[in-house]
Amino acid sequence: MRINLHNFIRTVIFASNATFRPTTATAHRAFSASRAPAPLRSMQIPIFGALFGSSSSSSAKKMDYPVKKTEAEWKEELGGSKTFGLTPYDVLRNAHTEPPGPTSQYNKHYAPGTYFCRGCSAPLYTSDTKFDSGCGWPAFFDAVPGAVTRHTDPDGSRTEIVCSSCGGHLGHVFKGERFGNPIDERHCVNSLSLRFRDEEEGGKKEESKV
Letter for the amino acid at 192? L
Letter for the amino acid at 103? T
The active-site residue out of 120, 135, 163, 188 is: 188
CB 172, CB 152: distance < 8 Å: no
188 is catalytic: yes
Which ranges of the chain would DSSP assign to H, the alpha helix?
5-17, 47-51, 58-62, 71-78, 88-94
CB 185, CB 173: distance < 8 Å: yes
Ramachandran sector of residue 106 (left: φ over 0; alpha: ψ -120 to 50; beta: rest): alpha
What is d(CA 111, CA 134) in angstroms, rounded to the nearest whole number? 18
Catalytic annotation, residues: 188
